[in-house]
Amino acid sequence: MAKNYLSLSEEMQNMILADRQNHQENASKCQDDSVLRRLPQKDKANLWRPAYARDTEKIMHCPYYNRYTDKTQVFSFYRNDDITRRSLHVQLVSRIARTIGELLGLNVDLIEAIALGHDIGHTPFGHVGEKYVSELLFENTGRLFNHNVHSVRVLDTLFARNISLQTLDGILCHNGEMAKSRYEMSAPKTFETFDKEVEGCYINKANIDKLIPFTLEGCVVRICDMIAYLGKDRQDAVKAKVAKDRPFAKGRMGATNAEIINNMTVDIVENSYGKNYLEMSEDIFQDLSTAKNENSEQIYGSDELNHEYSTNLSPMFHEVYRKLLADAKSQDENSVLYKHHICFIENERKYYSGSAYREEEPNQIVVDYIASMTDDYFIDLYKFLFPSGKYKVEYKSYFEDIQG
């Protein structure tokens, strides 16, 4: 099948090159000297470690960054090294967003920091794991769990890395489940207004949909999160033989991963250059909406995927949660909760000046722990806590296609 790749118009290419030659800067670019930190006396930028590059380094050296490697996106029960893990996803978001950001003349260091940190609070087993954790937290406390909010908690509270407000805000507002044809910045924020937004997300689900980043860089990452997963999930579905007989619509945006990335990049730049917002053409937006619906119906709604989740994984989450909560309430310092999680957090915190972590609300500690887990760690923990447990996840073998 012939590929269909769009190109930037000659007029747009000439405009970008002329502006670069004339050192014309984007008025909406987030400047390094505007950086805001909770501890402004620390982490001052210098020539070799600019403001937002420092954030990127802090995120990459955060202990939970390493755990991206074994957190799956959609296809959790496949022994297949070619199926996307969250580590690759954040790199793809970063690469696509940096390309768009550089063409638009934005701060690519800030874009990279937001992109690499945006899922650092994500649960094991993708959005299904997120759903189970939120249900359990709500059942016990009336509060909600959302991975974007928890990513902020990981960087700003659990490890207290003094990350900039601009980066934290981009991470909080990255949630790209709802597609829009135009992405505009909100009014500037302070840590006080930001903290109110964060708290609002714990108590009302509708507040998630109201989040708007106050930098154009944050808007770029938000839309690139969708660009990165739309086509890649399709690639993975073919590898997992979930959507092999269900063709995807092929509009101007394209249907394959490569087409989607190229064509959306071109369209966004063509329609956003020189503006203080991001915009895509109406036909590309309609293609994007169609693609999201197709993925939802043909991939995320797959009976084959969801049967394993509901039959085994859901009760495993419930049993693990209850056991960890009992350990948290009894303050059993010999428990795995204390030895693998609470002590680990207390030893790794940098600038946190509040009370000891073990004194926090027990449900929150349990949620912090579960969200930090990789897929394999969660499975091993279940076996450790319940050696005779009746639930077991069945993985599809590497060699299933040649087994008789």
CA-to-CA distance for 354 and 361, rounded, in angstroms?
A: 14
What pLDDT was estimated at residue 306? 81
Residue 301 pLDDT level (bands cut at 50, 70, 90): confident
Place of tokens 């350990």: 327
- For 56, list phi and psi in degrees, rounded to 5: -60, -45
230-244 tens-digit pLDDT: 999 999 988 888 865
Amino acid making up residue 193:
T
1-57 tens-digit pLDDT: 557 899 999 999 999 999 999 999 999 999 999 999 999 999 999 999 999 999 999
pLDDT at 247 over 80: no
Residue 350 pLDDT level (bands cut at 50, 70, 90): confident
380-403 tens-digit pLDDT: 999 999 999 999 988 888 887 765
How buried is 359 (Cβ within 10 angstroms: 0-12 exposed, 13-18 middle, 19+ buried)?
Answer: exposed
Question: What is the average pLDDT value for the chain, to the nearest integer?
Answer: 93
369-380 tens-digit pLDDT: 999 999 999 999
CA-to-CA distance for 117 and 155, rounded, in angstroms?
A: 8
What pLDDT was estimated at residue 178? 67
State the first-to-last Cα distance of the chain, in angstroms, to the nearest integer.
32
What pLDDT was estimated at residue 49? 95
What pLDDT was estimated at residue 29? 98
* Domains contained in the chain, CATH given: 50-128+144-303 (1.10.3210.10), 306-396 (no CATH)
Mean pLDDT within 92-103: 98
CB 68 within 8 A of CB 373: no
248-262 tens-digit pLDDT: 878 999 999 999 999
Structure tokens at 198: 């964060």
What pLDDT was estimated at residue 152? 98
Question: Which residue in 184, 183, 156, 182 sits closest to 169, CA to CA?
Answer: 156
Mean pLDDT within 101-108: 98
Residue 246 pLDDT level (bands cut at 50, 70, 90): low
127-164 tens-digit pLDDT: 999 999 999 999 999 999 999 999 999 999 999 999 99
Q: Within a 13 Å sphere around the CA of 124, how many CA atoms are in the beta-carbon half?
A: 23
Question: Which residue in 373, 332, 355, 326 sits closest to 140, CA to CA?
Answer: 326
Residue 245 pLDDT level (bands cut at 50, 70, 90): low
What pLDDT was estimated at residue 3? 73
Asked whether the CA dihedral 169, 172, 175, 179 is positive or negative, the reply is negative
325-345 tens-digit pLDDT: 999 999 999 999 999 999 999
What pLDDT was estimated at residue 403? 58
Looking at residue 118, the DSSP 8-state letter turns out to be T
Share of the chain above pLDDT 70, in %: 97
Coil/strand/helix, residue 210 = coil
Share of the chain above pLDDT 90, in %: 81
Mean pLDDT within 109-114: 98
Q: What is the DSSP string of 290-334?
A: HHHHHHIIIIIT-HHHHHHIIIIIHHHHHHHHHHHHHHHHHT-TT
What pLDDT was estimated at residue 150? 98
Mean pLDDT within 72-80: 89
What pLDDT was estimated at residue 128? 94
Cα 32 from chain centroid (whole Å):
24
| Nearest-10 Cα torsion for 265, 268, 272, 278 | -110
Looking at residue 182, the DSSP 8-state letter turns out to be E
CA 5 vs CA 99, 247, 385: distances in Å: 16, 19, 52
Mean pLDDT within 300-307: 79
What pLDDT was estimated at residue 175? 80
Asked whether the CA dihedral 187, 92, 89, 244 is positive or negative, the reply is positive
